[in-house]
């Protein structure tokens, strides 16, 4: 079954802490897997959010970014496991090395790296690494650097770099614009369509097999290189190839090719997997990798799905995030605790990226247009009512989804009052919504708009509706603030352009409205940059924490957050915190007194230190598998060592990736099962190598078995 997402760990309690400061943590969206690497059962994934180090067996994730590495930003484009056992990573600001438990940064200022923009890294079997940059090639081994450019190689001064690959003889191949460069360790050769059989198309990717055959992905088709001759193919498995954007050779020495829409397995009988195998919405292949257990991992450019890393067994797939927290976009709109005791988060970008998340004891669940009936991508507001329905406000209507099913409510539904729903507040067993047209109440399936005469002011451009501890409903609009209690409205038309409300001790009310206003004992007090410690008059949101400290989100690019304890003001900016972007738009305080700040990213702050989980350390895999005899001729016994409870599932594949035999729901107490060497139709399987995949709820593994004639 094609599963969407289920995480086994509470990521909101983990947070990878900075070595310098455990009071802050930043969650960034990854969008796509830029590169994937495997080491000791862990997956390393590079993305716009940095590097995620993930153990798929235990579901433990560690995120590396500028907060806990020397790298100056979070954009990482390539990864490589060196022969020295270290992990290397690159992006726009140099080369990172992770070894002996620490990170080291190499750039043009402190090393022989020829240029700081690193495009690809390839490991040399002798212990060195090759680093391709925009201005040439560098080689690093045992603290010694060697570089190549137009002065000592066939490489041009500045070029469009496409790929870098080592062949089995350790010859180096580099694809640049209309030219392939080859270095045998002493001499350089440049191949073009004029001096070789290389087709007259740009080479976009290069992969070699152990037998010396190379596959050169082209801007139109693929060229197979054998005995120093290139032969072009324009179709595989009956499907036109078009442009090849990537390729790799798996541990079984099979070559995989892909472009935006198709993935090919290049064997004597090639297979292809169209993009529609993994979803009906628009997305693109970006990476493919097979780990040491022969598990296939696919990366996608998929702005609708924040879980665009896919584990694929040739038939079924499951989705996973490319970073520790699957934000759909970098603009966080809403954070709150629901009646189900879970934290809910909404994120969206104006131009078509949006989703929401449930963070709870069972992990994180992600929702978006790919798996819900959201009327559009733009998640402007989010709420949960007392009946545990989730309400998603968008620019063109509402989605109500919960225990009794889903319902789409159009923007022009009677009594709703239009789209662009900016706030939703649970009241009783229903909700109140606010938008540019005003406020409407929903109860028992009926929408009732609130008139200006009833409220005592114009409720157009309502930005926020909240309830206080006494059950009163407060509405913040451009024309003022009003309070609903005991079936009566009290209006405060002098408090204009309000965008947020929070409540303190003694029923005091704080309002964000550019400046900051407080209602206490029937009197209003106003704070601004002239009479207080506010750094600017651009207050967007407010929240009161458990220590009665007021937190104020600002809309600037430098001054983003401040706090006020009744006497002292404290300001936070990019110089004294990791805050960046164009302001803070929402603040939520959880039961640990951690402040969740929504803005350009999702920030978490706790002045006493962010609580971390007491999760166990990464443990060995819970499965083991052998088969005997191996090799075998007619039948073999598969012995399983299982350390967890629950049923087992066994699937057997041939080297083409085709499922030949499977058995599900095997009793975990049964340590052995026999395979008679036949396929699922009862026909004898051909001789050759087969992959035995054993799965349970705790993970999976691959074991190889050889069938003889």
Q: Does some domain include residue 176?
A: no
12 pLDDT exceeds 50?
A: no
How much is the pLDDT for 3? Answer: 34
Integer Cα distance of 104 and 90 in angstroms: 12
Residues contacting residue 219 through CB under 8 Å, at least 6 positions apart: 201, 202, 204, 243, 244
Domain containing 639 equals: 623-707
Three-state DSSP state, 524: strand
Integer Cα distance of 589 and 595 in angstroms: 5
Q: Does some domain include residue 691?
A: yes
- pLDDT tens digits, one per residue of 41-97: 999 999 999 999 999 988 889 999 988 899 999 999 999 999 989 999 999 999 999
Q: Does some domain include residue 674?
A: yes
378 pLDDT exceeds 80?
A: yes
CATH number assigned to the domain comprising residue 651: 2.60.40.3080
pLDDT above 90 coverage of the chain, percent: 63
Number of C-beta neighbours around residue 469 at 10 A:
7
Tokens 């862990």: give the residue: 42
Q: Does some domain include residue 331?
A: no
pTM here? Answer: 0.78
How much is the pLDDT for 274? Answer: 95
How much is the pLDDT for 475? Answer: 97
Q: Would you place residue 697 in the very low, low, confident or very high pLDDT band (cuts 50, 70, 90)?
A: low
396 pLDDT exceeds 90?
A: no
- pLDDT tens digits, one per residue of 122-155: 999 888 999 999 999 999 999 999 999 999 999 9
Q: Which structure tokens are listed for 447?
A: 């929408």
628, burial (CB in 10 Å: exposed 0-12, middle 13-18, buried 19+): exposed
Residues contacting residue 308 through CB under 8 Å, at least 6 positions apart: 31, 32, 33, 283, 299, 300, 301, 302, 319, 322
3-state helix, strand, coil split of the chain in percent (to 5) is: 0, 50, 50
Least trusted range by pLDDT, from 74-78, 237-241, 277-281:
277-281
How much is the pLDDT for 621? Answer: 46
CB 492 within 8 A of CB 480: yes
Integer Cα distance of 41 and 175 in angstroms: 31
CB 356 within 8 A of CB 392: yes
More confident residue, 122 or 32: 122
Three-state DSSP state, 12: helix
Integer Cα distance of 100 and 86 in angstroms: 8
Q: What average pLDDT does this structure show over 388-404?
A: 91
How much is the pLDDT for 145? Answer: 97
How much is the pLDDT for 488? Answer: 95
Tokens 């349970």: give the residue: 696
Q: What average pLDDT does this structure show over 482-511?
A: 94
Integer Cα distance of 319 and 299 in angstroms: 10
Q: Does some domain include residue 653?
A: yes
φ and ψ of 319, to 5 deg: -95, 145
SS (H, E, C) 584-629: CCEEEECCCCCEEEECCCEEEECCCCCCCCCCCCCCCCCEEEEEEC
Whole-angstrom CA distances from 605 to 361, 429, 576, 590 are 21, 33, 13, 11
698 pLDDT exceeds 70?
A: no
Q: Would you place residue 642 in the very low, low, confident or very high pLDDT band (cuts 50, 70, 90)?
A: low
How much is the pLDDT for 292? Answer: 84
How much is the pLDDT for 644? Answer: 60
How much is the pLDDT for 19? Answer: 32
What is the overall mean pLDDT for the chain? 88
In 3D space, the residue among 610, 581, 578 whose CA is nearest the CA of residue 594 turns out to be: 610
CB 686 within 8 A of CB 668: no
How much is the pLDDT for 649? Answer: 82
Give me Rg for the CA atoms of the chain: 29
Q: Does some domain include residue 563?
A: no
708 upstream amide cis, omega within 30 of 0: no
Integer Cα distance of 167 and 130 in angstroms: 13
Q: Does some domain include residue 664?
A: yes
- pLDDT tens digits, one per residue of 586-639: 999 999 999 999 998 999 999 988 886 543 333 344 566 777 787 788 888 888
203 pLDDT exceeds 80?
A: yes
How much is the pLDDT for 647? Answer: 76
Least trusted range by pLDDT, from 134-143, 327-336, 383-392, 534-543:
327-336
For the chain, the domain total comes to: 1
Residues contacting residue 74 through CB under 8 Å, at least 6 positions apart: 28, 48, 49, 50, 65, 66
């Amino acid at each position: 079954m094609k599963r969407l997402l289920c995480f086994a760990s509470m990521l909101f309690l983990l947070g990878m802490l900075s070595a310098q400061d455990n009071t802050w943590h930043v969650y960034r969206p990854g969008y796509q897997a830029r590169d994937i690497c495997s080491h000791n059962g862990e997956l390393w994934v590079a993305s716009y959010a940095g590097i995620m180090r993930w153990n798929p067996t235990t579901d433990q994730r560690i995120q590396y970014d500028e907060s806990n590495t020397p790298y100056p930003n979070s954009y990482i484009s390539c990864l490589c496991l060196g022969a020295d056992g270290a992990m290397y990573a690159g992006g726009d600001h140099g080369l990172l090395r992770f070894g002996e438990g620490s990170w080291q940064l190499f750039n043009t200022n402190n090393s022989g790296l020829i240029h700081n923009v690193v495009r690809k890294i390839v490991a040399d079997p002798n212990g060195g690494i090759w680093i391709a940059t925009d201005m040439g090639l560098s080689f690093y081994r045992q603290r010694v650097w060697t570089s190549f450019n137009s002065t000592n190689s066939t490489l041009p001064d500045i070029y469009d770099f496409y790929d870098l690959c080592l062949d089995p003889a350790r010859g180096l191949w580099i694809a640049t614009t209309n030219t392939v460069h080859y270095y045998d360790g002493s001499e350089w050769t440049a191949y073009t369509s004029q001096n070789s059989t290389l087709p007259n198309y740009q080479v976009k990717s290069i992969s070699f097999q152990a037998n010396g055959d190379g596959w050169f992905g082209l801007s139109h088709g693929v060229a197979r290189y054998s005995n120093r001759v290139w032969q072009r193919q324009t179709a595989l498995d009956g499907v036109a190839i078009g442009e090849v954007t990537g390729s790799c050779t798996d541990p079984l020495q099979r070559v995989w090719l892909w472009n935006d829409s198709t993935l090919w397995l290049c064997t004597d009988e090639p297979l292809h997997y169209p993009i529609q195998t993994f979803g009906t919405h628009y997305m693109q292949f970006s990476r493919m990798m097979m780990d040491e257990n022969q598990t296939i991992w696919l990366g996608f450019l998929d702005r609708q799905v924040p879980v665009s890393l896919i584990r694929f067994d040739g038939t079924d797939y499951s989705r996973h995030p490319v970073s520790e927290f699957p934000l759909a976009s970098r603009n966080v709109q809403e954070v709150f605790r629901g009646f189900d005791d879970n934290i809910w988060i909404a994120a969206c970008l104006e131009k078509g990226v949006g989703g929401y998340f449930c963070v709870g004891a069972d992990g994180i669940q992600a929702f978006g247009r790919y798996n819900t009936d959201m009327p559009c991508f733009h998640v402007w507001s989010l709420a949960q009512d007392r009946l545990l329905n989730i309400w998603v406000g968008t620019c063109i209507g509402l989605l109500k989804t919960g225990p009794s099913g889903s319902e789409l409510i159009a923007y022009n539904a009677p009594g709703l009052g239009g789209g662009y729903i900016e706030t939703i507040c649970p009241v009783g067993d229903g909700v109140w919504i606010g938008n540019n047209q005003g406020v409407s109440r929903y109860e028992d399936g009926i929408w009732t708009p609130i008139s200006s005469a009833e409220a005592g002011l114009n409720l157009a451009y309502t930005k926020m509706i909240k309830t206080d501890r006494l059950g009163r409903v407060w509405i913040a609009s451009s024309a003022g603030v009003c309070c609903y209690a005991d079936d009566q409205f009290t209006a405060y038309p002098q408090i204009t352009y309000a965008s947020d409300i929070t409540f303190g001790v003694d029923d005091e009310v704080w309002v964000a409205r550019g400046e900051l206003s407080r209602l206490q004992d029937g009197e209003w007090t106003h704070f601004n940059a002239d009479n207080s410690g506010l750094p600017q008059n651009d207050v967007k949101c407010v929240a009161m924490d458990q220590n009665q400290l007021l937190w104020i989100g600002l809309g600037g690019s430098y001054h983003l957050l401040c706090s006020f304890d009744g006497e002292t003001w404290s300001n936070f900016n990019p110089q004294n915190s990791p805050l960046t972007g164009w302001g803070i738009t929402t603040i939520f305080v959880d039961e640990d007194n951690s402040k969740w700040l929504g803005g350009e990213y999702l920030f978490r702050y706790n002045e006493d230190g962010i609580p971390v989980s007491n999760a166990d350390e990464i443990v060995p895999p819970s499965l083991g598998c052998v088969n005997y005899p191996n090799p075998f001729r007619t039948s073999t016994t598969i012995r399983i060592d299982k350390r967890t409870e629950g049923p087992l599932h066994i699937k057997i594949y041939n080297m083409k990736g085709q499922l030949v035999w499977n058995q599900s729901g095997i009793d975990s107490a049964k340590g052995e099962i026999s395979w008679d060497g036949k396929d699922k139709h009862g026909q004898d399987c051909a001789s050759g190598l087969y992959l035995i995949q054993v799965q349970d709820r705790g993970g999976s593994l691959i074991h190889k078995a050889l069938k003889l004639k």
